Amino acid sequence: MKNKKDVNVNTIFQDKSGFIWVGTNQGLVKYNGIEFTPFTTENSLLSNEITAITQDSAGIMWIGHQNGSISIYDGENFAPFKPEEGISSVEISSFLISKSNTVWFTTYGEGVYYWGGKNRKRVYNINTDDGLLDNYTYSIVQGENSNIYISTDKGICVYDTTKQAIVDSITMSDGLPDNIVKHLCFTPDKKLWIAMEDGGLCSYDIETKKFNLVSNWIFGSINDFVIVNPSEFWISTKRNGIVKLNIDANGVAWYKEYGKSQGLSVQTKTVFLDREHNIWISSKEGLTLRKNNCIEFLDEHDNFNIKNIYNLAFDKKGCIWVASQEGLFKVIISEMGKISVQKVLDNPTSFLLFISVYCDSEGFIWAGTYGYGVYRINPDDLTYKVFNTNNGLANNNVISISGKKDTILFSTTGGGVSIYDSKNPKSFKTLSIDNGLTSNYIYCSFIDSKSRLWFGTDGGGIACMTKGVFQKCEDQRDSLFSRVFYSITEDQSGKIWFASADKGIYIYDGSAFKTINEINGLRTNSIRSITRTRDGKIMLVSNEGIDLYDETNKTFEYWGEEDKVAYQEPSLNSAVTDSKGTIWIGTQEGVISYTPSMDTTIQQEPNLQITHRLLYSKQVSQFKTKFSYTQNYFTFQYIGLWYKAPAKLQYRYKLEGADIGWSAPTRTLQANYSNLSPGNYRFVVEVSHIPGKWISSPNATYSFIIKPPFYFTWWFISAMVIIIVIGIFAIIKYRTAKLERDKDILEEEVRKRTREIQMQKEEIETQRDEIEEQHQFVTEQRDRIATQNRDIKSSIEYASRIQQAMLPPIELIKHYFKEYFILYQPRDIVSGDFYYFNQREGKVIFAAADCTGHGVPGAFMSMLGVTLLNDVVTDINDFSAAKILTELRVRIKAALRQKGFDGETRDGMDISLCVFDPLKKRINFAGAYNPLFVVRNNELSVYAADKMPIGVFPREDDFTDQYVDLVENDMIYIFTDGYHDQLGGERNTKFLIKNFRNLIVEITNHPAQLQKELLAERIDLWRDEHSQTDDMLVIGIRI
C-alpha cells in the first residue's frame, strides 16, 4: 500500500484471528503478513470511505463509514447494518464493544450512538440534549466500573450504564490541560490516559480525580496513541510524525522522534499496537510497520555521526563512551531524545586511535589505544592519566578491557594481559607466555562467577587461570580445536561460552567442551561477539546478523538482512550491556541496540490457523465434518500470522488417515488432496519460525469423515445377506417342487415309451428281414465304389505330384535367402494354395497365393495361376509387384472368360507378391487381400494389401506398389488365410489374425526351421480333434 497514490489510511484494527484490517478512503483491506486483500463497494460495502473498525464478541466485524452508514461482516459476506431507526448521517469516528456486548460508536457532529439490549431493534442517540458536552466526539472507552468515557471538543463525558445517563464530566475547570480530547485509553492500574489537541498527554486517576501531565511535551497536536507498557507510549502527531515516549522510574519523560529522517511522514493519523507489539502507523503516504524485533539503530539519522566503532561503554550517568577510528567520544541522549556528541582527548597535534573502552566500579572510564597505552578518564571533568609500558603496562596496544569489581583486565596484542587492582593502584601484574599464558596476543579476557580468569587468544586457543594457576585443557590438543577466539561470556547455569574466529561456538560445562556450528543451526562459524541477554539467552553477533540461542529449547532465533542488521561489519568483542539490560553493538555504520522484552503477554509465536477449507474449490464451513464418497477433493489453506518476519515462516502438514508422515517443509500456504477414499481424516498443519521448532495450534486442525457409498454400509450389506438367504431358500423350494413335478411327468413318459417300444419291436423284426436282403445289395455296391475311389485317389495323387513339380525348386530359394521356411499344408491331397519363386534381372519374385476353392478345383486353379504368373513375369517390361498383379488379373479373367456378367464364375485368387532386390535389400510389395508382415527388433509392421482379388471384381483399380527398405536379420512373412481361419479351441472358433501376429512376434528370433515347427505345433494344438478347415501356406524369410 505504501506509495500508492491517493490512498489515505484512516484506521487500523486486528481481529480475533489476528488479521490486520486497514480502513482507507478507497475501501477496506485485509492483511495476513504476505498479501493484501481489498474489499470495496463491489463486495457489498456500503461505502469505500472507511473511518472506524471493531469486532464484537460473536466475531462480527463492524465497519464505520464517512457517510455515517455501517457495514457488518460475518467472515464471509458484507451486509448493511439496518436498525429500525436511529442511524447516523455523519462520519463515524470510533467504536466500542462494551462489557454487555453493546455496540457504541462516536460521530463527528451527532454525538454518540449505542445499539444494545434484548430487543436490539433500534439505535439510541446521546447528544447535547442529553447532557453531552459536545456533539463532536472522538474516542470512547469503558472503565473498570463499567462507566463509559467519551472524548469531545469540550472535555470528557462520563456515562453511567446502570443509570443510563451522563453523570459527570472532566474539563479544564477540573484540571484537564485542554478540552479538545482526541484519544482515551485505560491502563491496568485504572489510570485513564488522555491525548489532547494542545495539551499533550496526561493521566487521570479515576478514584482520586488527580491529573499527572507528561512533562516537556513540545510535539504539537496529538491524533492517536498506543500504550506498549506503563512506561512506553507511541504517539501519532499532526505535524511531527511519531513520538516514542518512555517514562523512567523517576517519572522523567524521555522522547524519541521518528519523522522524515527515518523515512516516515511527519503527518501521521493513527497508530496501532498489535498482539506481537508491532507498531502500525498510518499517514498520507500509506501504511508503515515498525516491527517489534527489539532492535534500534543509532546512526546519522539520529545525529549520531560516528562510524567505524570499535567498542562501547556506559558511565554511571548513562552516557555512552565510544571508541572509534575517529577518536574517543562521549555521547549524551537528552530527555527529548536529542543526541549530542562530544569528542574527548582531541589533540590536533597527535592522533590517538582508541580501540577499547571500559567503565570501572569507581566510575572511571578506561580507554585503550593502539600504540599509546590506556587512558583513565574522569567522566565529569575529563581529566585523565596515562598508563603505558613506562609505568607497568605489558603492551601499549590495548585491544580489550574488561573486569569485575576492583579487578581490571587489559588485553594486549603482543604483551599478554595486564591485571590492575583499583584498591592497589601502584602497579600492574602481567600474564604472558613467560608465566603460562598460551599466547601474548589476546583478543578478550573474562572473569566468571567462580572468579576464574578466561582468555581468548590469537593462536593459543583458550586459556584459563584458577587461583593464580593456569589450567591445562585436554580438549585443545585436538588439531580441529579452534586456535583463535574473539569473545567470552557465561550463561545462567555457569557454563562458559567462547566465540571462535572460524569454527563456531565452544561451550565449557566444567568438564568438557562441546560445539555449536553451522552443522547444528548456527548461521555462520565466524562469530565476532558473544554475550548473555537479561532473559538468559545467548546473543551471537556476526556479519550475517544476530543469532539468539535459547539453551532451554536448543533453538536459534535470527535477525538478518531483512531486519537491517546484516553486513554492518560489527567489531570484535564490541557487544556491551547497559544498566537496563539493553545490549549495544558497535559497527562500522553506527550502533545497534537490542532490548529484550520481558512482557509475557506479548504474542511470542506465530498465530497458526486454517483459513479456508475448500471442497472442489468451494468454501466449506469448519462445522461441516461429514461428506459423501463423491466429495473427496479437498484444498486446505492456512496461514501463520507473524508480522515480525512472515517470510521466515515454514510449514509442514499431514492428513492423518492418508499420509504416512509430515510433508517436507514448505512456504506454500495450501495443501491439496484428491480422490480420498471413504474413512476418517484429520488435517494438521504446523509452523516454524525458528529452525527446529514446530508449533501447532487448535485452530490448525480439521477432522472430517468421508462416508462410504450406501452399498458399503453395514445396513445395506446386512439387507443384501438377508435377501440372498431368502432367495436361496426360495430357489431351493422352487427346485424341489419342480423336481417332484418332473418326476411324475417322467414316470408317465416312461410308461408311454415302453408301450411304443413294444410296438416298434414288432416293426423292427419285420424290417430286419428286409434289411438283410438289402445288405447283400449294399455290399456289392460298396465293393464297386471302393474300386472307383482307389482309381480316383490314385489319379489325384498323381495330380499332386504334378502340382508339386510345378512349385519352385528349393535350390532357387536357397540361392537367394540364407534362412527361410515354407509351411505348406494342403487340406486335401492337392491344394488350392501355392507358393511361387522366380528371378529376373537380378531380382527375386516370390509369392503366396490362395486360389478359389481347395482340393481338385483349387489345384486346377493353382496350376493355372502358376502358369500365367510365369508368363507375366517373363513377358512384362519394366516390371513391379503391382504391374505383375494387374497383368495377372487380366490373363486370369481371359482364361476363365470372365466378363463381369451375372451368373458367370467368380473364380480367382488372393495373393501376396514381393519383388526383392538383394543388392539394395529392398522389397517391392503388392497384394490382393493378403498382406506382408515385416518384423524388426521384435516390432511387427503390417503392409496392407489392396482390397480386391485376382479375378473379376465390381470395382477394379490398379494394384498398389509398396516399398520396404530392409536391414540384416529382418524377418518377412507372406501367407494365405488358411492358418488364421483354422477352427479349433474350446469354442471351435477361428485362430484369428491377431493371435497369428502375436505368435509371429513370439517366435521371430528362433531359427527359420524351428519357427516352422512351432507354427505347425501351435496350429495342431489349436485344431485338436477338428478337421483342417482350409489349405495352409506360411512363408518366412530372414534377410
d(CA 522, CA 597): 23
Q: Assess if residue 568 is contained within a domain.
A: yes
- Please compute the mean of the pLDDT values over residues 550-554 and round it to a whole number: 81
pLDDT tens for 733-753 read: 888 888 888 888 888 888 888
Tell me the three state secondary structure of residue 504.
coil
Question: How far is residue 109's CA from residue 243's CA, in Å, rounded to a whole number?
Answer: 29
**Residue 635 belongs to what H/E stretch?**
strand 634-641
Burial of 700-736, coded b for 16+ CB within 10 Å and e otherwise, reads: bebebebeeeeeeeeeeeeeeeeeeeeeeeeeeeeee
Distance, CA of 1009 to CA of 822 (rounded, Å) = 9
Q: Terminal CA-to-CA distance of the chain, rounded, Å?
A: 78
**Nearest to 982, CA basis, from 972, 973, 995, 971:** 995
Q: What's the CATH number where 652 sits? A: 2.60.40.10
Name 401's bridge partners: 410
598 confidence band (pLDDT: 50, 70, 90): low
Nearest CA to 266 out of 284, 280, 253, 279 is that of 284
Q: What is the pLDDT of residues 43-56, one digit of tens each?
A: 999 999 999 999 99
Is there a single domain that holds both residue 580 and residue 643? no
pLDDT at 878 (0 to 100): 85
- The answer to whether residue 1 scores a pLDDT higher than 80 is no
Would you say residue 498 lies in a domain? yes
Measured at the alpha carbon of residue 239, what is the angle toward residues 234 and 241, in degrees to the nearest 5?
35
Same domain, 495 and 449: yes
Predicted pLDDT at 45: 95
| pLDDT higher than threshold 90 for residue 852 | no
Q: Tell me, yes or no, whether 443 and 555 share the same domain.
A: yes
Residue pair 110/150 in contact by the 8 Å Cβ criterion: no
pLDDT at 505 over 70: yes
Task: Tell me the CATH number at 982.
Answer: 3.60.40.10
User: How much is the average pLDDT of 897-918?
Assistant: 84
Helices 714-806 and 855-875: angle between axes, nearest 10 degrees: 70
Element (H, E) at 593: strand 591-594
Task: For residue 55, give the nearest of 112, 119, 11 by alpha carbon.
Answer: 11
Question: What's the pLDDT at 5?
Answer: 63
Mean pLDDT value of segment 184-207: 93
Q: What is the pLDDT of residues 863-879, one digit of tens each?
A: 888 899 999 999 888 89
C-alpha 399/C-alpha 441 separation (Å) is 10
Are 691 and 520 within 8 A, CB to CB?
Answer: no
Domain end residue (candidates: 712, 732, 750): 712
pLDDT digits (tens, 9 = 90+) for 296-351: 888 777 778 889 999 999 999 889 999 998 899 999 887 777 888 889 987 765 67
- Taking Cα atoms as reference points, which of 156, 149, 114, 112 lies closest to residue 133? 156
CB-count exposure of residue 507 (10 Å: 0-12, 13-18, 19+): middle
Distance CA 104, CA 125 (A): 10
CB-based contact 332:319 (threshold 8 Å):
yes
* Domain co-membership, 625 together with 500: no
Given this model, what pLDDT does residue 484 score? 93
Tally of domains within the chain: 3
Cell of 157: 463525558
Torsions phi, psi of 722, nearest 5? -65, -45
Range of the domain at 965: 807-1038
Statement: residue 778 has pLDDT above 80: no
- Taking CA atoms, 957 is separated from 307, 865, 895, 899, 907, in Å, by 99, 20, 20, 16, 18
255 touches 334 (CB < 8 A) = no
- With a CB cutoff of 8 Å and minimum separation 6, the contacts of 818 are 1038
Phi-psi region of 27 (alpha: psi -120 to 50; beta: other; left: phi over 0): left
Q: How confident is the model at residue 709 (pLDDT cuts 50, 70, 90)?
A: confident
The pLDDT of 598-605, averaged and rounded, is 65
φ/ψ (deg, to 5) at 264: -115, 145
| Segment of 314-318, 634-638, 858-862, 866-870 carrying the highest mean pLDDT | 634-638
- Residue 635: partners with Cβ closer than 8 Å, 6 or more residues away: 612, 613, 614, 617, 670, 671, 672, 673
For residue 182, the Cα-to-chain-centroid distance in whole angstroms is 47
Chain-centroid distance of CA 1019 in Å reads 60
Q: What is the mean pLDDT of the chain?
A: 89
Type of residue numbered 752: K
Which grid cell sits at 268?
Answer: 501521521
Closest CA to 401 of 457, 356, 437: 356
DSSP 396-457: SBEEEEEEETTEEEEEEBSS-EEEEETTSTT-EEEE-GGGT-S-SBEEEEEE-TT--EEEEE
Q: Is residue 64 part of a domain?
A: no
Q: Are residues 521 and 627 in the same domain?
A: no
Q: Based on the domain organization, do 536 and 627 belong to the same domain?
A: no
Query: 583 and 679, same structural domain?
Result: no
Residue 795's pLDDT band (boundaries 50, 70, 90)?
low
Domain check: are 434 and 501 in the same one?
yes
| CB of 224 closer than 8 Å to CB of 206 | no
CATH code: domain of residue 550:
2.130.10.10
Q: Look at phi and psi of residue 536 and say left if phi exceeds 0, alpha if psi is from -120 to 50, else beta.
A: left
Comparing CA positions, the residue from 260, 235, 258 lying closest to residue 245 is 235
Rounded Cα distance between 1001 and 998, Å, is 5
Least confident of 295-309, 595-609, 725-739, 826-840: 595-609
Structural contact between residues 329 and 343, judged by C-beta atoms closer than 8 angstroms: yes
Q: Among 594, 628, 659, identify where a domain stops.
A: 594
- Is residue 880 within 8 A of residue 961, CB to CB? The reply is yes
- What DSSP element (H or E) covers 155? strand 155-160
- Environment class of 921 (CB within 10 Å of its CB; exposed 0-12, middle 13-18, buried 19+): middle
Instruction: Check: CB of residue 398 under 8 Å from CB of residue 356.
Output: yes
- What is the average per-residue pLDDT within 231-256? 90
Helices (H) and strands (E) in the chain, counts: 6, 77
Q: What band does 2 get if pLDDT is binned at 50, 70 and 90?
A: very low
Residue 614 lies in a domain: yes
CA geometry: angle at 715 spanning 712 and 719, to 5°? 100
Residue 601 has pLDDT above 80, yes or no: no
What does the angle CA 773 – CA 774 – CA 778 come to, to the nearest 5 degrees? 130
* 632, 537: one domain: no
What's the rounded Cα separation, in Å, for the pair 918 and 56? 95
- Judge whether 485 lies within some domain: yes
pLDDT confidence tier of residue 258, bands split at 50, 70 and 90: confident
Rounded Cα distance between 31 and 23, Å, is 11
Same domain flag for 655 and 512 = no
Rounded Cα–Cα distance for residues 167 and 954 (Å): 116
Please tell me the distance from the alpha carbon of residue 909 to that of residue 889, in angstroms, as a whole number.
9
Q: How far are the Cα atoms of 589, 914, 1030 from residue 540, in angstroms, in the given order?
A: 19, 87, 95
On whether residue 266 sits in a domain, the answer given is: no
Strand-pair category, 36-39 with 9-14: unpaired
**Considering 573, 594, 615, which residue would you say is the last residue of a domain?**
594
Tens-place pLDDT, residues 751-767: 888 888 888 877 887 77
pTM: 0.64
**How big is the chain by its Cα radius of gyration, in Å?**
53
How far apart are alpha carbons 73 and 53 in whole angstroms? Answer: 11
Average pLDDT over residues 128-150: 94
Would you say residue 458 lies in a domain? yes
Q: Answer yes or no: do 545 and 616 share one domain.
A: no
Whether residues 589 and 615 share a domain: the answer is: no
Instruction: Count the neighbouring beta carbons within 10 Å of the beta carbon of residue 609.
Output: 19
In whole angstroms, give the CA distance from residue 313 to residue 576. Answer: 7
Q: Judge whether 235 lies within some domain.
A: no
Evaluate if residue 4 carries a pLDDT over 60. Answer: no
Q: Express each pLDDT in 388-414 by its tens digit.
A: 999 889 999 999 999 998 899 999 999
Three-state DSSP class for 882? helix
> Which residues make Cβ contacts (< 8 Å) with residue 719, sequence separation at least 6?
none
